[in-house]
């Protein structure tokens, strides 16, 4: 039997790396926050690149080569393997086991020596060499080459080894054994030295990849820990695998205390825990959001918004979740303050204003004594102002009800002419003070709609009030009402663009109302925003449009709730100096059957 260099497995030193005590092909990367993440050689260098290196190496040297895990199992494909090893030594379960043990032994001895280790394989006794891929002191893998001999093996010993692994075809075993290349020790050492250089190059490349990965993870952890919300991930069994510093502070724990704990530990009641479990069961690997109740280490309970996304795992139906938990205590407090404010405005303010209205109406009616003309004008102005304040409170209440799904219409059959005339009557005094004329181009036919009288009246009043406020003295406001037929674009008034009409139901009858003024107009950049709540419109060139920003959003809400639509056109004409001016609000409402039958 050939004498080869190196030690046998039985002579291994006690300080040799034990691959059984470490994860396969794993080094432990400790990032900020002391979270460990297994990194494998194939995470650092692609399999195709490793196979390409071995392909060139074996092509040049003529020996066999493979890269193995620390436990001896293969990482790469076998390259240039002899038929003896491929078809006989590794053809049985026992043979593969001994080959893996041999590769593991070679890797262990090469790690101990920190250089390539030449040894006789533990299966058939061929000469192999092992070189370790080491990154920052961690044994990632072993590069093995060989399947050669320095002189022929003893036939009797070879037969014993064949029988030991269960080979039945002894003649074929011996025949292929004779084909094993005979190589001088000098040639073998030259190949081993070349393999050492290749191994060192692979180790340095893996180190660079590892350091880059480590830096990226450290940077990612700094980013995660700079976020004020809780960021965490869970395993497939819903245990916490990672949590950032903000999350640990939010719940009053150290990060280490939460790692490995069930995420249900963070929820305060059974309803929240059941809600989380139901979401996980019904939406695995999907995004979902929920508002739950959380519990801190000191027993404190607080509301949270949970937003989680499933982690895609190729080998598992559920690979866990990653997501954000946000403490919404302040938001809830602000929401309560908002609701209290709404309650104050719509109840505590509406009732006194309504009482003032009733008192002024008694004075104006003459029930408490006659008033002279000037007194009557002043009281009418006070009455109109109180109605405006009352309308603003109602606008705010209706918008709030709409946002909370509680906005309801109280419909009845209404005639548009009467609504317009009453709306003009409420604002006539204000218009007269600015010497503004209001012209109502009344329709010839009765135009009827099914609508909520109070809300439609407020919508008309809001639009007319805007026109009066932003019109110059001595100008004219024109209100026009006309029937429309959905789909009949040829019959549209000249000022109506076809765009808004595209959404009208073809063949259905509608009522069109337009309110045009000669005021400063609305800047083009504001026209897409004027129906947003609390949006102020500023025009620096002229007088600023001011207001609380609820009138137009309320108008849009009411018109659309009735099945209609509203739009704006500005400018619409030229003033005396040739400058663009004017504004026209137009809206349509579905007509009643009574209008159609006339």
Q: How far apart are CA 519 and CA 516, in angstroms?
A: 9
220 found inside a domain:
no
Do 456 and 592 lie in a common domain?
yes
319 found inside a domain:
yes
Q: How far apart are CA 206 and CA 49, in angstroms?
A: 12
Do 208 and 150 lie in a common domain?
yes
Do 146 and 260 lie in a common domain?
no
- Beta carbons within 10 angstroms of residue 61's beta carbon: 20
What pLDDT does 26 receive?
34
- Beta carbons within 10 angstroms of residue 9's beta carbon: 15
**Using an 8 Å Cβ cutoff, are 119 and 109 in contact?**
yes
Do 89 and 111 lie in a common domain?
yes
What pLDDT does 549 receive?
64
4 found inside a domain:
no
223 found inside a domain:
no
Report residue 330 CA to chain centroid gap.
Answer: 22
The CATH number given to whatever domain includes residue 584 is: 3.30.565.10
List Cα–Cα distances, 81 to 90, 144, 249, 503, in angstroms.
Answer: 11, 12, 58, 74
Calculate Rg over the CA atoms of the chain. 43
Q: How far apart are CA 547 and CA 544, in angstroms?
A: 10
List Cα–Cα distances, 163 to 129, 171, 284, in angstroms.
Answer: 25, 12, 52
The CATH number given to whatever domain includes residue 52 is: 3.30.450
Choosing from 372, 401, 430, the residue where a domain stops is 401
Q: How far apart are CA 392 and CA 474, in angstroms?
A: 27
Do 173 and 276 lie in a common domain?
no
Choosing from 308, 327, 346, the residue where a domain stops is 327
pLDDT in tens, 247-265: 999 999 998 899 999 999 9
Do 420 and 463 lie in a common domain?
yes
| β pairing state of 476-485 and 437-441 | parallel
**Phi, psi (degrees; rounded to nearest 5) at 132:** -85, 140
Choosing from 349, 372, 401, the residue where a domain stops is 401
Q: How far apart are CA 94 and CA 101, in angstroms?
A: 10
2 found inside a domain:
no
Per residue in 467-487, is it b (16+ CB within 10 Å) or e — as a string? bbbbbbeebebbbbbbbbbbe
Domain count, the chain: 4
For the chain, the straight-line distance linking the first and the last C-alpha, in angstroms and rounded, comes to: 117
Do 162 and 238 lie in a common domain?
no
What pLDDT does 166 receive?
94
Domain that holds residue 262: 228-327
Using DSSP's 3-state secondary structure scheme, residue 354 falls into: helix
313 found inside a domain:
yes
425 found inside a domain:
yes
What pLDDT does 491 receive?
65
What pLDDT does 539 receive?
46
Do 162 and 261 lie in a common domain?
no
Q: How far apart are CA 259 and CA 253, in angstroms?
A: 10
Residue 391 in tokens = 């309308």
Write out residues in the chain with pLDDT < 50, as ranges.
Answer: 1-37, 314-315, 539-546, 596
Do 57 and 112 lie in a common domain?
yes
pTM above 0.85, yes or no: no
Q: How many helices (H) and strands (E) does the chain have?
A: 18, 20
**Using an 8 Å Cβ cutoff, are 502 and 574 in contact?**
no
Do 147 and 280 lie in a common domain?
no
Do 172 and 205 lie in a common domain?
yes
569 found inside a domain:
yes
Do 26 and 70 lie in a common domain?
yes
In sequence order, what are the residues at sequence separation of 6 or more whose Cβ sits closer than 8 angstroms to the Cβ of residue 559? Answer: 459, 565, 566, 587, 589
């Amino acid at each position: 039997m050939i004498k080869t260099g190196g030690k046998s497995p039985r002579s291994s030193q006690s300080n040799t790396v034990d691959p059984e005590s470490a994860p396969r092909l794993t080094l432990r990367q400790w990032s900020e926050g002391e979270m460990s993440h297994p990194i494998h050689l194939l995470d650092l260098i692609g399999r195709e690149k490793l196979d390409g290196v071995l392909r060139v190496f074996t092509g040049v040297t003529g020996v066999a080569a493979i890269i193995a895990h620390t436990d001896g199992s293969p990482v790469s494909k076998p390259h240039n393997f002899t038929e003896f090893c491929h078809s006989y030594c590794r053809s049985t379960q026992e043979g593969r086991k001994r080959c893996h043990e041999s590769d593991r032994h070679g890797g262990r001895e090469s790690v101990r020596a920190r250089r390539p280790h030449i040894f006789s394989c533990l299966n058939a006794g061929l000469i192999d060499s092992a070189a370790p891929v080491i990154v920052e002191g961690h044994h990632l893998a072993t590069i093995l080459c060989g399947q050669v001999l320095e002189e022929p093996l003893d036939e009797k010993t070879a037969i014993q080894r064949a029988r030991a692994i269960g080979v039945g075809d002894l003649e074929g075993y011996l025949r292929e054994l004779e084909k094993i290349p005979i190589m001088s020790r000098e040639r073998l050492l030259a190949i081993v030295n070349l393999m050492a250089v290749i191994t060192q190059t692979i180790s340095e490349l893996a180190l660079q990849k590892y350091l880059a990965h480590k830096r990226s993870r450290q940077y990612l952890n700094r980013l995660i820990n700079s976020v004020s919300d809780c960021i965490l991930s869970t395993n497939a069994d819903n245990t916490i695998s990672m949590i950032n510093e903000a999350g640990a502070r939010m719940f009053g724990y150290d990060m280490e205390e939460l790692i490995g704990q069930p995420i249900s530990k963070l929820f305060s009641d059974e309803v929240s825990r059941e809600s989380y479990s139901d979401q996980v069961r019904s939406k695995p690997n999907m995004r979902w959001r929920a508002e739950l109740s959380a519990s801190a280490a000191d027993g404190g309970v607080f509301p949270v918004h949970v937003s989680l996304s499933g982690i895609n795992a190729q080998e598992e139906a559920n690979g866990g979740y990653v997501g954000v938990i946000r403490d919404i205590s302040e938001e809830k407090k602000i929401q309560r303050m908002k609701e209290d404010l709404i309650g104050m405005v719509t109840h505590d303010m509406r009732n006194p204003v309504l009482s003032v209205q009733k008192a002024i109406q008694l004075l104006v009616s003459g029930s408490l004594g006659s008033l002279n003309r000037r007194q009557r004008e002043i009281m009418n102005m006070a009455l109109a102002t109180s109605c405006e304040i009352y309308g603003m409170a109602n606008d705010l209440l209706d918008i709030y009800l709409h946002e909370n799904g509680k906005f309801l219409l109280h419909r009845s059959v209404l005639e548009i002419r009467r609504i317009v005339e009453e709306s003009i009557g409420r604002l006539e005094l204000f218009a007269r003070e600015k010497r503004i004329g209001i012209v109502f181009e009344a329709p010839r036919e009765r135009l009827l709609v099914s609508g909520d009288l109070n809300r439609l009246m407020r919508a008309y009043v809001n639009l007319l009030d805007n026109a009066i406020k932003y019109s110059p003295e001595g100008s004219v406001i024109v209100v026009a009402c006309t029937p429309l037929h959905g789909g009949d674009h040829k019959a549209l008034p000249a000022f109506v663009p076809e765009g808004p009409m595209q959404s009208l139901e073809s063949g259905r009858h509608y009522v069109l109302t337009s309110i045009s003024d000669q005021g400063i107009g609305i800047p083009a950049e504001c026209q897409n925003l004027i129906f947003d709540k609390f949006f102020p419109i500023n025009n620096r060139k002229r007088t600023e449009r001011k207001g609380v920003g609820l009138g137009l959003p309320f108008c849009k809400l009411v018109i659309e709730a009735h099945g209609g639509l509203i739009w704006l056109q500005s400018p619409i004409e030229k003033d005396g100096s040739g400058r663009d001016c004017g504004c026209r609000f137009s809206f349509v409402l579905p007509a009643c059957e009574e209008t159609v039958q006339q």
